[in-house]
Amino acid sequence: GENVEQHPSTLSVQEGDSAVIKCTYSDSASNYFPWYKQELGKRPQLIIDIRSNVGEKKDQRIAVTLNKTAKHFSLHITETQPEDSAVYFCAAALGYKLIFGSGTRLLVRP
């Protein structure tokens, strides 16, 4: 079955710096890759997604890149702010299901 690996597990950056989170997936049939942000005690919320026919997608300070050949995709957050502090999950869709990575805890230091 599909397996999604996510790195790093924790990431600490200075406010204003960039943050990059990387994921790899195992099943080449996966063709949809969402990213979710989860604040402490809250629900996961979709922040950006990318489909396999696109190599990069941006939305203000966040961007996602996809390399289908290498089977990896990454989340980039620029000009980080304290409110970006949260746990971020990547996921890969296989059939009807999403397979989630184990999460990255991002801390943005003021």
Partner 1 sequence: NAGVTQTPKFRILKIGQSMTLQCTQDMNHNYMYWYRQDPGMGLKLIYYSVGAGITDKGEVPNGYNVSRSTTEDFPLRLELAAPSQTSVYFCASSYTGGDNQPQHFGDGTRLSIL
According to CB under 8 A, which one of 15, 46, 54, 79 is a site residue for partner 1? 46
Residue 72, CB-side half-sphere exposure with 13 Å CA sphere: 11
Buried b (16+ CB within 10 A) or exposed e, 25-59: bebeebeebbbbbeeeeeebeebbbbeeeeeeeee
Q: Rounded to the nearest 5°, which phi and psi values hold at 51?
A: -105, 165
According to CB under 8 A, which one of 23, 62, 86, 93 is a site residue for partner 1? 93
- The answer to the question of residue 80 lying near partner 1 (CB under 8 A) is no
Q: Do 39 and 86 touch, CB atoms closer than 8 A?
A: yes
- The answer to the question of residue 97 lying near partner 1 (CB under 8 A) is yes
- The answer to the question of residue 12 lying near partner 1 (CB under 8 A) is no
According to CB under 8 A, which one of 23, 24, 89, 108 is a site residue for partner 1? 89
Q: Pick out residues in 14-33 that bind partner 1 (CB under 8 A).
A: 30-32
Residue 40 to residue 33: CA distance in whole angstroms: 23
- The answer to the question of residue 54 lying near partner 1 (CB under 8 A) is no
Q: Which is nearer to partner 1, 14 or 60 (CB)?
A: 60
Residues forming the site for partner 1 (CB under 8 A): 6, 30-32, 34, 42-46, 49, 89, 93-103
